[in-house]
Amino acid sequence: MSARENILGRLRRAPAGAPVPLPDVAAWFATTPVEDIATRATRFKANIEAAHAEVHETNAADWPSLLLEIAVQKGLGRLLVGHGTAQAEVLRSQPQHQLKLVSYEQPAATWRSELFENIDCALTAARSAIASTGSLILWPDASEPRLMSLVPPVHFVLLDAANIHADLHAAMTNERWAEAMPTNALVISGPSKTADIQQTLAYGAHGPRELIVLLCHRGAKSS
């Protein structure tokens, strides 16, 4: 008998308890009041800022110059961008900037020390976000791999303000996650942190020390 058969056999031989219906989780989340996009964006911003992230409100036209400005302020030199993404192309077409763009084109295994040691910051798009916890949702893929949001010390995230869900449950159900999960889905709620030394909060434990959200509003320019 294999370990699998033994374990399943013991579980199946155990006395049945009272039958338990499938819990109605959706009903619980349905009780939260419906908010408009602007309110969700405000709540998202307040919550992720409370977790030590920076949020800059901008729009689809202005974010590249804003990003370059912030990068210069922070003294960042090398920015990792995705391979063949729209945001990488937009940045590349910006006139006269000092930021060196590095494209993530090769498997991480072939340039790992470069990735770990010589990249100052990275830019990725967020798929969507969550208002209730101030969280960004990323589905890393071939063009924006998962280490972009983890290894560089500063992470810029481009977020469309129209894509902010009320909570994680709304994100999962509205985007129908359960039908086809990606190899890796991430929900990120601030820069990396730890309180393992005497409950004292410190940022930049293993992941990014800084998380900078470029919150793009549609319609009228905000800046």
Partner 1 sequence: MSQNQTVHFHPAEGFAERSRAAVNDAHLRRSFRGAMDFLQAKRLSQFPDADELSALRDLGKAIRLHALANLPDLLEQLEAKLQANGIQVHWAETPDQANAIVLDIAHRHDAKNMVKGKSMVSEEIGLNHAMEVAGIEALETDMGEYIVQLAGEAPSHIIMPAIHKTRQQIAELFAAKVPGVAYTDNVDELIRIGRDVLRKKFAAAEIGLSGVNFAVAETGTLYLVENEGNGRMCTSVPKVHIAVTGIEKVVAKLEHVALLNILLPRSATGQAVETYQNFISGPRKPDELDGPDEVHLILLDNGRTQAYADVQLRATLQCIRCGACMNHCPVYARIGGHAYGTTYPGPIGAIISPHLLGLEATYALATASSLCGACVEVCPVRIPITDILIRLRNEAQAASAGKLRGGGRARKPLQSSIWLVWSWIYGQPWLYRIVSWLMSRGRALAPSNQGAWTRSRTPLNPAPQRLRDLLRRPASG
Segment 158-177, which members bind partner 1 (CB under 8 A)?
A: 167-169, 172-173, 177
Residue (62 or 167) nearer to partner 1, CB: 167
Q: State the burial class of residue 98 (Cβ atoms within 10 Å of its Cβ: 0-12, 13-18, 19+).
A: exposed
Residue (98 or 113) nearer to partner 1, CB: 113
- The answer to whether 2 contacts partner 1 (rule: CB under 8 A) is yes
Binding residues among 36-75 for partner 1 as defined by CB under 8 A = 47, 51
- The answer to whether 17 contacts partner 1 (rule: CB under 8 A) is yes
Give the whole-angstrom CA distance, residue 147 versus residue 124: 11
- Tell me the backbone φ, ψ of residue 61, rounded to 5 degrees: -85, -35
- The answer to whether 33 contacts partner 1 (rule: CB under 8 A) is no
Binding residues among 72-91 for partner 1 as defined by CB under 8 A = 83
Binding residues among 104-163 for partner 1 as defined by CB under 8 A = 104-109, 112-113, 116, 133-135, 140-142, 145-147, 150
Sequence-ordered list of residues with C-beta below 8 angstroms from that of 151, at least 6 positions apart, any chain: 115, 116, 119, 122, 207
User: SS3 of 122, please?
Assistant: strand
Sequence-ordered list of residues with C-beta below 8 angstroms from that of 51, at least 6 positions apart, any chain: 134, 189, 190, 191
Per CB under 8 A, the segment of 71-79, 118-126, 182-190, 213-221 that binds partner 1 is 182-190
